Amino acid sequence: MNREEALQKITSLRNELEEHNYKYYVLAQPVISDFDFDMKLKALEKLENDFPEFADINSPTQRVGSDLSKDFEQVEHKYAMLSLSNAYSEEEIADFDTRIKKIINTDFEYVCELKFDGSSISLTYENGKLTKAVTRGDGVKGDDVTRNIRTIKSIPLQLRGNNFPNEFEIRGEIVMPFDVFNQLNAELEKSGEPLLANPRNTTAGTIKMKNSKIVASRNLDAYFYYILGKDLPFDGHFESLQKAKTWGFKISDATQVCQNLEEVFQFIRKWDKERFNLPVATDGIVIKVNSKKLQENLGFTAKSPRWAIAYKFKAENVATKLLSVSYQVGRTGAVTPVANLEPVQIAGTIVKRASLHNADIIENLDLHLGDTVFVEKGGEIIPKITGVDISQRHPMFSKVNFISTCPECQTELIRAEGEAAFYCPNENRCPPQIKGKMEHFVSRKAMDIDGLGQETIELLYSQGLAKNITDLYKLEKSQLENLERMGEKSAQRILDGLEASKNVPFERVLFALGIRFVGETVAKTLVNKLHSIENIISAKSDDLVEIDEIGQRIADSVTDWFSNEENLQLVAELQEQGLQFQISEEKIADRTEKLAGLSIIISGTFEKYSRDELKKMIEKNGGKNVGSISKKTSFLIAGENMGPSKLEKANKLGISIISEDDFLKMLE
């Protein structure tokens, strides 16, 4: 195939695949199978590899993202992204209507839209191509997340047709559908990792990930609700949105023109019920004046447009009976009370349990078994009890008192001064703590052992094959093959994962041990300062407090953990298995104390190194990376496009500002 034929075929495949993307993700009307789509995508990928001169960032093959990490640059919005003022009742909407009528003396229409609960985004298109995607940020500036947004298949990279403005912005909400969120949580639960709280927070975190390949795998969606620019096709906001739909944008079918306030109220009442049938989260209704000219006349306050308001749905609050209170023991020994309820439907799902968090919550609610309680389900996974209907309480109902002994091993519970939670101190004998420690040990951010998740750990523990972490390294293939739902391949995968974990660096091994208050950052700090497990074991609490970011609580927890003979035995056995318990001599030799005692902040973009690389240099030379400027900041490394607020604050506090070259000279 010559170059001309290749370009023709590449162009044809790109157009065809984008058409299928549009039909599948925007119209929800696929016309070919997933297999056929994948085959066409692979054919295009091969052609682009064979003819790299025809590479295009807007090609369908680029939606998969990449593993390359890149810091996000801050970009100033051409049009400020202001927040909306909120209303919580029909009376407040009526007041909004009255204020508008006092300013404009002509008939007008409202447009009512669903307020999707995700992460706001502003896209810029030039000559029909997506050129920039920026988060809301502080409304004046946001982060450039274009690489990640390109992976979302419902967002057009190239617009359809040719009757669109040469340049315009369109704003919308990036959302994670409920089924995608539930699947993600199911996978996390299976691998023994903490569950995500809600689709909104997960979406916001996802679009700020540095690995766009992971973003692509999250199957985010997007709905658009506002267009800005000079040459827009219509004065009517609603009409412009309908036009944008023909360009390939996903516009909610629920969007509706309302001629008067009563129609607005009807829309609100309808969707207050219907929202539970939607595939994505919504938290209200947005009401806008339809005419762009009238919007301009009405103008803005300092914080929000005068021509729009958000009506916020009330979190659904229902009454049900408290049947009992059970107690769960986590891997750290923290005991969490859970209310068991008479099943009730809230926000479209059947709820049987609600979190009570700790003993103080139970006491403040003055809970009694049999009480009629009010349960609310906002964005969180587990609903919460918000109150008690005392009028329904029978005199014979017994008061709920927090337990005094562990429900699993009957050890007397303890509560440290200043802490809300009760703990079971029997960490090496209490079954949920033992299993929890193993689950934490094998998790992705710790030892990342392939094939070992919560279910497998539970199975190994119940069968007596693994009663602690070191037992995992003694497993044999024949033992694993005989387990339920486990074959030769799965068994070998686990053994290979265990072997590979022996190369995991020391800081992750220390984190994997599950020492209370020793998270990823603290583990890295201890390892960078003390270099070996022997030095950490022998360190006194006073020595540890001298290390930056190590407070008294962390220091006491570390010394207590290593004063326990069983824990020392665990470390010794893991050392025998070949796990990493010190930094290599090469890494130690590479470290210096040139920046010891200095707190350094980085801002802007740089020519020679990325921000991550500069941060590693600071750590390697004994310095401390900080995220915000204070009197304690030693100096600021300034690059291009640094935030003016940081510059202003640095000057105000007299903080030294140096360039990338100045910093590199310090390390020579």
- The residues that are catalytic are 115
Name the DSSP letter for residue 304: S
What DSSP string describes 131-174? Answer: EEEEE-TTSSEEEB-HHHHTT-TTS-SB-SSS-S-SEEEEEEEE
Which residue carries 């340049």 as its tokens?
Answer: 167
Contact assessment for residue 301 and residue 103, using Cβ atoms and an 8 Å cutoff: no
- Residue 459 tokens read as 């199975």
Backbone φ and ψ for 308, nearest 5 degrees, come out as -145, 150
Q: CA-CA distance, 18 to 334, in Å (whole number)?
A: 51
Q: List residues bridging with 135 in a β-sheet.
A: 121
Strand, helix or coil at 548? coil
For the chain, helix (H) and strand (E) counts, in that order, are 26, 21
Q: 10 Å Cβ neighbour count for 415?
A: 14
Which residue type, as a one-letter code, is found at position 250? K
Which residue type, as a one-letter code, is found at position 56? D
Helices (H), 397-551: 431-442, 454-462, 469-472, 477-481, 488-500, 506-512, 520-530, 533-538, 541-545
Strand, helix or coil at 576? helix
Strand, helix or coil at 598? coil
Strand, helix or coil at 514? coil
Q: What is the 3-state secondary structure (H, E, C) of 7-35?
A: HHHHHHHHHHHHHHHHHHHHCCCCCCCHH
Name the DSSP letter for residue 392: G
Q: 10 Å Cβ neighbour count for 516?
A: 18
Q: CA-CA distance, 253 to 177, in Å (whole number)?
A: 16
Q: Which residues are within 8 A (CB) of 461 and not within 5 positions of it... i.e. 6 or more apart?
A: 431, 434, 435, 438, 467
Which residue carries 């703590």 as its tokens?
Answer: 433
Q: List residues bridging with 110 in a β-sheet.
A: 258, 289
Q: List residues bridging with 344 in a β-sheet.
A: 351
Task: Give the Å distances, CA to CA, from 384 to 117, 177, 498.
Answer: 20, 23, 40
Sign of CA dihedral 111, 116, 119, 122: negative
Q: What is the 3-state secondary structure (H, E, C) of 393-435?
A: CCCCCCECCCCCECCCCCCECECCCCCCCEECCCCCCCHHHHH
Q: CA-CA distance, 373 to 386, in Å (whole number)?
A: 8
Q: Which residues are within 8 A (CB) of 98 and not within 5 positions of it... i.e. 6 or more apart?
A: none
Task: Give the Å distances, CA to CA, from 95 to 100, 190, 289, 479.
Answer: 9, 50, 14, 72
User: Residue 370's Cα: distance from chain center in Å?
Assistant: 38
Burial of residue 510 (number of CB atoms within 10 Å: 0-12, 13-18, 19+) = buried
